[in-house]
Amino acid sequence: MRYGEKLATPDTSIADLIGEVDPIKVAEGRYLSDELTLHYGLVPRCNRGIFAINELPDLSERIQVGLLNVLEERDIQIRGYKIRLPLDIMLVASANPDDYTNRGRIITPLKDRFGSQIRTHYPLEIATEIDVVRQESRKASVGDVKVRVPNFMEEIIATISHLARVSTKINQRSGVSVRLTTSNQELMCANAMRRALKAKEFEVAPRVCDLDALAASTAGKIEIDVIDDSRESQVFDQLVRGAVLQVAKQRISAEDLRVVTDEFVEGKVVQTGEDIASSDYVAMLETMPGLRRVVVDLVKGDESAAVVASAVEFVLEGLHLSKRLNKDAKAGKAIYRAKTI
């Protein structure tokens, strides 16, 4: 009740923030010099509270001067009449320090009145980013279909954003916000939901094959410093492959990777894709004890068919990106086999 907020826009007026003469009160016989003649705006209504302005540079300089006057001098001129407003208020404002859109700036006198300037940053740790996404993303499960998101898939989504924030091929002035991670998580789960409806399954988990759908959500959230669209897709593919490889190295030991590779050397060939049912992955593990052991360690007790299928694709893609397996990919399907000498 003691907090007010306003998104600054170029059409914001003095009346919105501070107030304007109320013609009804004038008609009742009040004078213009009477404070009670005003219909107060957002700032006076937050007296003895906190008022926040988002994107302060978007306010026109004329409005910023009026805001400075009422906050510093505690007075304002309405229709030529000077009215004192002894406000007790704390003003909080947000602004992009590198405003790459060049929409406006904060006037020097107003900026000089701020007591502190705090520069924030994007999450520095994968775990923090995952916590934010879990809080902000929409619920994945819909109706009778339950979507289970394995921890390693959440890490891949968060790692994509972290790699994008250090990539020289992405404009860092425009930034890579956590909204990218949230959108990618929601779209990955939506693609898994589509796959479940198509296969008539009631429990599904996102897989590596669902990461191909992230190109649509990523394209609108980052600014790539390339000219043609083909190179944009290459940058996105590099981010996804780099994220899967990084998480695989953290989650799977080199010894476990060697054991699974030996099973492929013995002649095993595995096909993955959207049209492969989760139960088929579970049945395939019965013939590959080494891969099954790695998968069980990954899922940590949640051995549902959907999560197991997701873990299988993750391990196989990690082996391929580690240059231990060959992969033939075409039309949403992939075949993994031992590397030829």
Written as six digits, the tokens of 305 are: 């068919």
pLDDT, tens digit, for every residue of 42-97? 888 888 999 999 988 888 888 888 888 888 888 777 777 777 888 898 999 998 76
Predicted local confidence at residue 321, as pLDDT: 92
State pTM to two decimals.
Answer: 0.82
Of residues 302 and 151, which shows the higher confidence score? 151
pLDDT, tens digit, for every residue of 157-202? 999 999 999 988 888 877 889 999 999 999 999 999 999 998 888 9
Specify whether the CB–CB gap between 190 and 278 falls below 8 A: no
Distance separating alpha carbons of residues 187 and 157, to the nearest angstrom = 11
Instruction: Tell me the angle at which helices 278-285 and 305-321 cross, rounded to the nearest 10 degrees.
Output: 70
pLDDT, tens digit, for every residue of 328-340? 888 778 899 988 7
Q: What is the rounded average pLDDT for all residues in the chain? A: 87
Domains and CATH numbers, the chain: 3-113 (3.40.50.300), 126-338 (no CATH)
Written as six digits, the tokens of 237 are: 């593919």
- For residue 6, the 8-state DSSP code is E
Distance separating alpha carbons of residues 169 and 256, to the nearest angstrom = 34
Written as six digits, the tokens of 146 are: 């339950």
Please determine, for residue 257, whether its predicted confidence score (pLDDT) is greater than 90: no
